[in-house]
Amino acid sequence: MRNLTAIAVLVAGLVLARHNGVVLVAALVIAWFVARPGRAGRAVAGRGMRRVAVRTHGGHGTKTAARHEAGHRRMAKANGWRVVSAEIFPDGSGVTWMDIPKDAPVDQLVAVDVAGGIAAGTWAGCSSDMAHLRKDLGRLPGGFIFDGPERDAAKRSGYALARKHVGSGWLSDNAAVRKDADELLKKGRING
């Protein structure tokens, strides 16, 4: 797309240059700016985003890992976030990479943290998820021993979001999680 725009600018410059040489020079400069690739840092995660790995540590089979990562993936998408990839490994571990807006609401962060455990129906292998959860809740005011009302509310809201989107209760539709888990078991990885 960027290259097409650059070519369009150049062609327009060539056409107009019959009347004014300065236009051609301007078109060349603009085309160069449009066509040059973005800086490497920008390609990793967009402005205002951070790229985060959400995992399961195994200690259970690949079937559990597949449901776990499918849960993270689907919850991130339900939040409207970009998922880079989800992957599971033969030892039952797995990782899902996603781009999270730096100003994302804490309950949405909580929802993604707990979505793996909720989708898999077990908290085995969730130690890094729980560490993320503590860190995310720490963005809100609260005490050292007691979380206090704001963190409690975000936690409740986050768990409810995850149960709604990736839970297996009769109120939720987790067909999407099952589909992703099947694909992960078959291919080991889902891009996007």
In whole angstroms, the minimum distance from the beta carbon of 77 to Zn ion comes to: 15
Strands 49-57 and 82-88: unpaired
Q: 85 in helix, strand or coil?
A: strand
Q: Pattern of binders to Zn ion over 73-112, x per CB under 5 A?
A: ----------------------------------------
Q: Is 56 in the site for Zn ion (CB under 5 A)?
A: yes
The token pair at 179 is 């589909």
Residue 27 or 75: the one with the smaller Cβ distance to Zn ion is: 75
Residue 92 or 116: the one with the smaller Cβ distance to Zn ion is: 116
Residue 129 or 147: the one with the smaller Cβ distance to Zn ion is: 129
Q: Pattern of binders to Zn ion over 11-30, x per CB under 5 A?
A: --------------------
Cβ-proximal residues to 94 (8 Å cutoff; 6+ apart), any chain:
55, 56, 58, 65, 66, 68, 69, 86, 87, 88, 184
User: Which of 129, 136, 147, 180 forms a contact with Zn ion (CB under 5 A)?
Assistant: 129
Amino acid at 44: V
Place of tokens 């993936």: 73
Q: Is 58 in the site for Zn ion (CB under 5 A)?
A: no
In whole angstroms, the minimum distance from the beta carbon of 132 to Zn ion comes to: 8
User: Are the C-beta atoms of residues 72 and 96 closer than 8 Å to each other?
Assistant: yes
The token pair at 163 is 């149960």
